[in-house]
């Protein structure tokens, strides 16, 4: 491709993303730039990712979607955004085969929990012994539990338009998106933020970034690991520690948080003695 072509594609992608209410995945941008017939071709998506990654105006969220500097999404102040902190327990890790059996969700705004959801979810899939040992959940515990369809509307309302937070978002958010999609339901528009990824950037000296270890390090109550509600609450505590650390480093909005690595690199150049972030409890 000629340089002029690349600049044209970037300009179109920028204008397109600037007008969106949520970050978009690479295939959606490829469809816009190259049309419906070519957007799912692997090479087309590789080109789009390379185009966007090479331009600092484009920001990749933690769930591998794209938005742009200047978008209302990234201009949300860290203390003003509503964070929907989610944890799932499932019958396994294979999307399309395994199913959700428990959901914990905690809405956080201005450092306070404003709303919660905690529910078992009916599944007729046999819970494997290793999952039962890990979570303590057995099939008989799901008797009488609502189906995902039963809770989908309430769940959508608690997620729509908010920042979706999980400790390793690569697991929880794709599972939820699949559950909505396979029922033909609209998927909530969210911005994906991962406390595991934040911990690597803000506290690089910690020896472990597992949720139980982070909770112990920061003195966050985590009484029953591997149960959705308890893990969601612990993750919300880690999130609040991350926001506190980010504010202390001069970060202001979501754009700063998603660009934490670049932000800290620039700060260290300006102030050579600056640590990457305090890991003190």
Q: What is the mean pLDDT of each run of 10 residues along the chain (281 residues)?
A: 76 95 94 83 89 94 95 95 98 95 97 96 96 96 97 97 97 96 95 96 94 97 95 98 95 92 71 56 38
Nearest to 121 by CA among 212, 237, 222, 229: 229
List where CATH 3.30.420.10 sits in the chain. Answer: 83-258
Contact (Cβ atoms closer than 8 angstroms) between residue 197 and residue 165: no
Tokens at residue 16, please? 């397109």
User: How many Cβ atoms sit within 10 Å of the Cβ of residue 133?
Assistant: 9
Fold of 83-258: Nucleotidyltransferase; domain 5 (3.30.420)
The pLDDT value recorded for residue 280 is: 46
What CATH class is the domain 3-68? mainly alpha
Q: Check residue 275 and give its pLDDT.
A: 57
pLDDT of residue 261: 78
Q: Which of 58, 42, 73 is nearest to 10 (CA)?
A: 58
The secondary structure of residue 125, as a DSSP letter, is S
CATH 1.10.10 segments of the chain: 3-68
Q: Is the pTM of this model over 0.75?
A: yes
Q: What pLDDT is attached to residue 269?
A: 66
Residue among 113, 61, 63 nearest 83 (CA): 113
Helix, strand, coil percent values for the chain (each to nearest 5): 45, 15, 40
pLDDT, residue 281, reads 38
Separation of alpha carbons 104 and 227, rounded Å:
8
Answer yes or no: are the C-beta atoms of 143 and 108 closer than 8 Å: no
Q: How far apart are CA 232 and CA 84, in angstroms?
A: 9
The full DSSP string for 209-230 is --HHHHHHHHT---SSTTSHHH
The whole-angstrom separation of Cα 200 and Cα 107 is 23
């Amino acid at each position: 491709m000629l340089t002029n072509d690349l600049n044209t594609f970037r300009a179109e992608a920028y204008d397109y993303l600037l007008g969106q209410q949520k970050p978009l995945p690479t295939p959606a941008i490829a469809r816009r730039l190259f049309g419906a017939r070519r957007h799912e071709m692997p090479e087309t998506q590789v080109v789009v990712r390379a185009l966007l990654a090479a331009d600092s105006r484009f920001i990749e969220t933690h769930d591998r979607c794209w938005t742009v500097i200047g978008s209302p999404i990234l201009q949300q102040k860290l203390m003003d955004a509503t964070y929907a902190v989610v944890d799932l327990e499932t019958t396994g890790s294979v999307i399309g085969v395994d199913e959700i059996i428990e959901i914990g969700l905690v809405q956080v705004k201005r450092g306070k929990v404003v709303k919660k959801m905690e529910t078992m979810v009916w599944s007729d899939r046999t819970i494997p012994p290793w999952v039962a040992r890990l979570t303590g959940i057995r099939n008989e515990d799901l008797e009488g539990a609502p189906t995902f369809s039963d809770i989908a509307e309430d769940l959508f309302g608690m997620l729509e338009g908010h920042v979706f937070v999980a400790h390793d978002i690569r697991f929880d958010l794709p599972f939820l998106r699949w559950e909505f999609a396979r029922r033909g339901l609209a998927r909530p528009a969210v911005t994906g933020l991962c406390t595991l990824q934040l911990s690597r950037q803000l506290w690089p000296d910690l020896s472990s970034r597992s949720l139980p270890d982070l909770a112990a390090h920061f003195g966050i109550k985590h009484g029953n690991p591997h149960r959705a509600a308890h893990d969601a609450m612990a993750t919300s505590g880690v999130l609040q520690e991350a926001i506190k650390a980010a504010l202390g480093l001069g970060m202001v909005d979501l754009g700063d948080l998603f660009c934490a690595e670049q932000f800290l690199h620039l700060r260290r150049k300006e102030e050579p003695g600056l640590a990457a972030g305090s890991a003190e409890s």
